[in-house]
Amino acid sequence: RYFAVAQPSDVLIVGAGPAGLFAAFQLGLLGFKCRIVDALDRAGGQCIEYYADKPIYDVPGRSVVTGQELVCGLLEQLAPFEPQFSFNTVARSLSASANGRWRVELSGGDAAQASAVVVAGGWGIIGPRTAGDDENPILNWEIGLADNVVPVDTATFQSRQPGIYVIGDMCSYSGKLRLILSGFHEA
**How do 84-86 and 34-37 pair as beta strands?**
parallel
Q: Does the pLDDT at position 6 exceed 80?
A: no
pLDDT digit string, tens, across residues 18-62? 999 999 999 999 999 999 999 999 999 988 988 899 999 989 999
Q: Does the pLDDT at position 127 exceed 90?
A: no
Asked if 187 contacts 22 with a C-beta cutoff of 8 angstroms, the reply is: yes
Q: How far, in Å, CA of 109 to CA of 165, rounded?
A: 24
Q: Please tell me the predicted confidence (pLDDT) of residue 1.
A: 31
pLDDT band at 7 (very low <50, low <70, confident <90, very high): low
pLDDT band at 108 (very low <50, low <70, confident <90, very high): confident
Percent of the chain with pLDDT over 70: 88
pLDDT, greater one: 1 or 69: 69
Lowest mean pLDDT among 3-12, 73-82, 92-101, 146-155: 3-12
What's the predicted TM-score (pTM) here? 0.90
Full DSSP string of the chain: ---PPPPPEEEEEE--SHHHHHHHHHHHHTT--EEEE-SSSSTTHHHHHTTSSSEE--STT-S-EEHHHHHHHHHHHHGGG-PEEE-S--EEEEEE-TTS-EEEEEGGG-EEEEEEEEEE--GGGTS--SSS-SS-GGGGS-S--BTTBEE--TTT-B-SSTTEEEEGGGEE-TT---SHHHHHHH-
Helix axes 67-78, 18-29, angle to 10 degrees: 20
Percent of the chain with pLDDT over 90: 69
Q: Please tell me the predicted confidence (pLDDT) of residue 123.
A: 63
Q: Work out the number of other CB atoms within 10 angstroms of the CB of residue 40.
A: 20
Q: Please tell me the predicted confidence (pLDDT) of residue 146.
A: 83
Of 9, 11, 77, 92, the C-alpha closest to 43 is: 77
pLDDT, greater one: 134 or 44: 44
Q: 146-151 long-range contacts, Cβ below 8 Å, gap at least 24?
A: 148/123, 150/119
